[in-house]
Amino acid sequence: MTSRPRWFDTVNAVLLGIISILCILPMLLVLMVSFTDEASIKQYGYQLFPSQLSLDAYKLLLFGSTPLYRSYMISIFVTVVGTLLAVAITSMAGYTLAARHIRYRHGLGLFFFITMVFNTGLVPWYLINLHLGLNNTIWALIIPSLLFNPFNLFLVRNYMSRIPASLTEAAKIDGASDFYIAFRIFFPLSMPVLATITLFYGIAYWNNWFNAIMLVDNERLYPLQYLLFKLNSEISMIQQMQSSGAISGSQTLPQESVKMATAILTIGPVVLFYPFLQRYFIKGLLIGSLKE
């Protein structure tokens, strides 16, 4: 068996280094623009090395009239509670579809698969949530996204299907119930896929602002993503009205730097935790590509 030439590893290292730099540069640009003075942005555009630094964007977001800290706490609560409940439901449904001794599991799998192909639309979704009394409650940010994603369900089902049936048969002979088999055998052996869908659900809940637009009017319940989206929209509207002369005022609001500061604040938790959980994302991409 011939060893790889040294130049091959060198070329790979150089290419990966270039790709890494190209991936890091946009993030650095966003970070630097968030600390750039608005007048400098208008004059010179986006700069990796700003000619004039400013903290106006962060002052507006963190110390302005917007209840940013409360929205942060709401987003954290919704993400944690929603993710835990969604993972619990998805894992139990995945066990139901994967366990060979459960009848009609293939029919149930087809039922869930149909929901990936056909969608009922926005109006029935809104009416159901309205009749459930979720409007203007914290549960409006959790329950509409709580019913498991079929894609995540099939990830769990495919992974659990690879668990040897002999383990289930031995547990059945010893008198174990389905509850015991699921929580003491299947779930511990399926920790990689459960960690993967936890990340998927967590990111989805953290970035979700659609539920707030549709179901929440109370400002005290605005999640972080929707609050920052609303703030950016208001700043853009004020700038347009000032430029058209509809309202008077000489103060220049940091519109562009606020957008970049918003991006930094919203992706901060994801960027901090992603390096520790990266391997589960990689496993999540591979799970389901292997056929039993």
pTM of the complete model: 0.76
With contact defined as beta carbons under 8 Å apart, do 234 and 60 qualify?
Answer: no
pLDDT tens, residue by residue, 164-201: 888 888 888 888 888 888 888 888 888 888 888 888 88
Return d(Cα 12, Cα 26) in angstroms, integer.
Answer: 22
With contact defined as beta carbons under 8 Å apart, do 122 and 84 qualify?
Answer: no
CA 23 to chain centre: 20
Return d(Cα 87, Cα 31) in angstroms, integer.
Answer: 33
Note whether residue 34 is domain-resident: no
Distances in Å between the Cα of 34 and the Cα atoms of 44, 66, 142, 158, 274 are 14, 18, 31, 43, 22
Long-range contacts of 11-18 (CB under 8 A, 24+ apart): none
With contact defined as beta carbons under 8 Å apart, do 107 and 170 qualify?
Answer: no
Q: What is the CATH number of the domain that holds 214?
A: 1.10.3720.10
**Res 2: pLDDT:** 56
Note whether residue 100 is domain-resident: yes
Note whether residue 42 is domain-resident: no
**Res 30: pLDDT:** 86
**Res 291: pLDDT:** 45
Residues 6+ apart with CB under 8 A from 281: 196, 199, 274
Note whether residue 36 is domain-resident: no
Note whether residue 51 is domain-resident: no
Return d(Cα 160, Cα 96) in angstroms, integer.
Answer: 10
Which of 119-128, 215-224, 280-289 comes out lowest in average pLDDT?
Answer: 280-289
Q: Please count the structural domains in the chain.
A: 1
With contact defined as beta carbons under 8 Å apart, do 239 and 245 qualify?
Answer: no
Note whether residue 269 is domain-resident: yes
Note whether residue 190 is domain-resident: yes
Half-sphere exposure of 46 (CA within 13 A, CB side): 15
Question: Greatest CA span in the chain, whole angstroms?
Answer: 81
Percent share of the chain, pLDDT over 90 = 7
Q: What is the residue range of 259's domain?
A: 56-286
249/44: higher pLDDT: 44
Given a cut of 50, whether residue 82 has pLDDT beyond it is yes
Return d(Cα 155, Cα 90) in angstroms, integer.
Answer: 10
Which helix or strand (DSSP H or E) is residue 195 part of?
helix 191-207
In this prediction, residues 256-280 reach a mean pLDDT of 74
Residues 6+ apart with CB under 8 A from 115: 150
With contact defined as beta carbons under 8 Å apart, do 202 and 149 qualify?
Answer: no
